[in-house]
Amino acid sequence: MATRRIVMHFPQTMIDEPIISRLVRVYDLEFNILRASITPKQEGLMILVLEGDESKLAAALDEVQQKGVRIEPLEKEVTRNDDRCTECGACITICPTHALAMEPDTRHVVFDPDKCIACELCVPVCPPRAMETPF
């Protein structure tokens, strides 16, 4: 079994295609949608966790990409601008997965992209606006 946390960008022409149901029916994958939206430019955006057989997962993602869906790993979606971060800690009680946390001994505020689910709650809460998203 393999797990992938990904962001799918659907072009406008594909918004009405049943991509996710094919992943389930044809490739036998489990999915958990963390976020989904359609941007003002009519691009579809979906953040999801996929779980299934390693080779089937790879084949499924190949097919989806060939159809024109752009796929990025999830951790790329929220990044921390370390030049702006002052390590105050205002984010740490807001982050639901503790991807943002304070090291008790050093008092450093650390960001672990592997734990981030790109909920973006930290973005407006960060006083110096250090948490950034590309969209």
Partner 1 sequence: MPKTYAEINEKIRAGEAVVVTAEEMIDVVAEDGVEKAAEHVDVVTTGTFGPMCSSGAMLNTGHTTPRMRYQNVWLNEVPAYSGIAAVDVFIGATAIPENDPANRDHPGLFNYGGAHVIEELIDGRDVRMVADSYGTDCYPRRKLDTLINIEDLNQAYLLNPRNAYQNYGVAINLNPDRDIYTYMGVLQADLGSATYCSAGQLSPLLNDPYYRTIGIGTRVFLGGGVGYVYFEGTQHNPTEARSGNGVPMGGAGTLGLVGDMKQMSTRYVAGVSMYGYGVSLSLGVGVPIPILDVDMARYTAVRDDEIVAPILDYSRNYPYNEGGALGHVSYAQLKSGSIEVEGKSVPTAPLSSYVRAVEIATTLKEWILAGEFLLGEPTQLIPSADSGQGFKRIKERPVNNGGGAR
Residues that bind partner 1 (CB under 8 A): 84, 86-94, 102, 104, 106-109, 124-125, 127-129
H or E element that contains 45: strand 44-52
CB of 66 to partner 1, least distance (A): 39
- Nearest CA to 55 among 25, 21, 28, 20? 28
DSSP notation for 76-105 = GSSEE-TTT-----TTTTT-TTSSEEE-TT
CB of 125 to partner 1, least distance (A): 5
Nearest residue (CB) to partner 1, 70 versus 84: 84
Nearest residue (CB) to partner 1, 19 versus 125: 125
> How many angstroms from the chain centroid is the CA of residue 121?
13
CB of 81 to partner 1, least distance (A): 12
